Amino acid sequence: MFIVITLPHFFDGEAEAIIQKFQCGLQRLHLRKPESTADECRALLRQIPACYHSRIVIHDHFELTEEFGLLGVHLNRRNPMPPVGWKGGVSCSCHSLEELKARKAETWSVVTEEGVLEKTFDYLSLSPIFDSISKTGYMAAFTPEQLRQAHADGIIDERVMALGGICHDNVEEALSYGFGGVMVLGDAWRETPLPFGGGAGGEAVVLTIAGSDPSAGAGIQQDLKTITNCGVYGATVITALTSQNTMGVQGVMPVPADVVESQLRSVFSDLSVSAVKIGMIPNLDVARVIVKVLEEERRKSVLPIVCDPVMVSTSGRQLMDPDCVDYVVRHLFPLCTLATPNIPELEYLQSHTSQFRLPDMQADSSANAQSAQFSILNSQFSILKKGGHADGDSMDDILFIPIEGVERTFSSPRIATKNLHGTGCTLSSAIASQMALGHSLVPAVEGAKRYVTRAIEGGRDLHIGHGNGPLWYV
């Protein structure tokens, strides 16, 4: 689990920064404002879409939990007990192994209409694990040997979060001691609005997981060109070797799943990845290792993931095994920040997978609006419906953010050209690059849309190959 704790003071743009973190996949936020009033916390919560309130734990003013439907409360010296009758989540901080052991064994009774519930802490934190970033003089209180022994003794386990001095560089070390997750304070806000790895320029890293195109108009090759043009460093994991050119796809050879996994682990073990773009996934075995590794990485840090579900080539060749499609919808999409299907891909998903349907974002009633939030596997990822295959003088891409009940249309003039090879790869890579640079979802899509429009314009008169030529960014 990855948890971010707010700074103790309020600051301009805080709500926008929190929303950005949620859009990038943050699982849980602790609202900790020890010197605040209830009205100040209420004002901040009102600026955060209600769909994210169920991921927020509050440290003070517990009366706000019911008002905003918050996830839980965090006990401290100011508030040593949960509200009377509280059935929601409860967490607490510990500063010694003895305190942690005692708190794990602690229980209390909650009287409900259904009877008496015996409650325990949902999770606890132990601190400081490392020298604090935000508190001067707050130094690590445990040796690595003590932490390993506590894990061996069952004191540190999945219910215990590491806290204190946690930053991108030591998350993996903290998890190696047996913690179930990390809680981050100083490092999460140090680079606001770029809190998720990588500062500007070459420090941000986008990993593209996709197939190879020897003509370099699509796939890994086009992804790298796009990522580089966006001012970000690109890393690659190849899932398939294709024989293709501007005329179409002539052959596909999937990369063995164990080799894909080895590539993924090589990148993640060395590079600080800021965002991931996923393209061609040829078969179920490859899909499974991608999901396995990304699940592991999402436990360590917030990681924007953009998936371009490449299933059928423009020339009509099947690029994803049918049994892989359902697995991707069920297991990969829920890990993603955004999926970017074009109209044929969207129709394929809706006709071949019973679990996938696009939400009706125009619903008027609150009941319909709420059902829309759960229309896609109860998931929180968004969908960009690309409109390049539609008729008309404009290219209209529609962004659905079901959890926020938001629908946005991004329009650009349709450019008369046959050179559109790799347009989807370009758009998804540009979105991932924008998110790696710290932009939230809507600005990232806006920036990527402008990039693609310029790249189509730049390639409209190119004569590379005899068919559907590539884009060209100038």
In a domain, 474, yes or no: no
Q: Are residues 439 and 305 in the same domain?
A: yes
Lowest mean pLDDT among 73-82, 225-234, 378-387: 378-387
Q: How far apart are CA 15 and CA 78, in angstroms?
A: 25
For residue 264, what is the domain's CATH number? 3.40.1190.20
Co-location of 169 and 281 in the same domain: no
Confidence at residue 141, expressed as pLDDT on a 0 to 100 scale: 92
Judge whether 468 lies within some domain.
no
Q: What local confidence, expressed as pLDDT, does residue 146 receive?
A: 96
- Residue 471 covered by a domain: no
Domain count, the chain: 2
Query: What is the distance in angstroms between the CA of the first residue and the CA of the last residue of the chain?
Result: 42
The pTM is what?
0.72
Q: Are residues 160 and 121 in the same domain?
A: yes
**Residues 173, 212: one domain?**
no
Question: Which CATH number do you get for residue 60?
Answer: 3.20.20.70
Assess contact for 178 and 156: CB atoms under 8 A.
yes
Domain match, 103 and 133 both: yes
d(CA 51, CA 405): 9
205 & 149 share domain: no
Highest mean pLDDT pick, 164-168, 272-276, 405-409? 272-276
* Strand-by-strand arrangement of the 248-254 sheet: 248-254, 233-245, 205-212, 275-278, 305-307, 338-339, 382-385, 394-401, 406-413
In this structure, the answer to whether residues 214 and 338 fall within a common structural domain is: yes
Domain-embedded: residue 283: yes
**Residues 286 and 433 both lie in one domain:** yes
Domain that holds residue 259: 201-459
pLDDT in tens, 376-390: 444 578 899 887 666
Name the DSSP letter for residue 415.
P
pLDDT of residue 70: 93
Domain boundary among 189, 220, 239: 189
CB 273 within 8 A of CB 303: yes
Q: What 3-state class would DSSP assign to 174?
A: helix
Listed ranges 229-238, 325-334, 404-413; the one with the highest mean pLDDT: 229-238
Residues 143 and 263 in one domain: no
Same domain, 89 and 232: no
| Residue 466 falls inside a structural domain | no
Range 43-58 average pLDDT: 92
Q: What is the pLDDT of residue 459?
A: 87
In whole angstroms, give the CA distance from residue 459 to residue 469: 8
CA–CA distance, 168 with 170 (Å, rounded to integer):
6
How far apart CA 90 and CA 81 sit, in angstroms, is: 9
Residues 241, 342, 223, 335: is their CA dihedral positive or negative?
negative
- Span 134-148, mean pLDDT? 84
Determine, yes or no, domain membership for 68. yes
Which of 141, 160, 189 delimits the end of a domain? 189
- Conformation bin of residue 248: beta by default, left when phi > 0, alpha when psi is -120 to 50: left
Q: Do 120 and 212 share a domain, yes or no?
A: no
In a shared domain, residues 181 and 310: no
Q: What integer best gives the mean pLDDT of the chain?
A: 85
pLDDT at 452: 92
Nearest alpha-carbon partner for 162 in 179, 185, 148? 179
Q: Does residue 8 have a pLDDT over 70?
A: yes
Name the strand (E) or helix (H) holding 444.
helix 441-459
| Chain centre to alpha carbon of residue 69 | 23
CB of 345 closer than 8 Å to CB of 385? no
Confidence check: pLDDT of 247 > 60 = yes
In a domain, 196, yes or no: no
Residues with Cβ within 8 Å of residue 474, at least 6 apart in sequence: 454, 458
Return all residues near 470 (Cβ < 8 A) that are at least 6 apart.
Answer: 215, 216, 217, 218, 222, 246, 419, 421, 422, 459, 462, 464
Residue 56 lies in a domain: yes
**189, 222, 242 — which closes off a domain?**
189
Q: How many whole angstroms separate alpha carbon 44 and alpha carbon 51?
A: 14
pLDDT at 195 over 70: no
Other C-beta atoms closer than 10 Å to the C-beta of 433 total 31
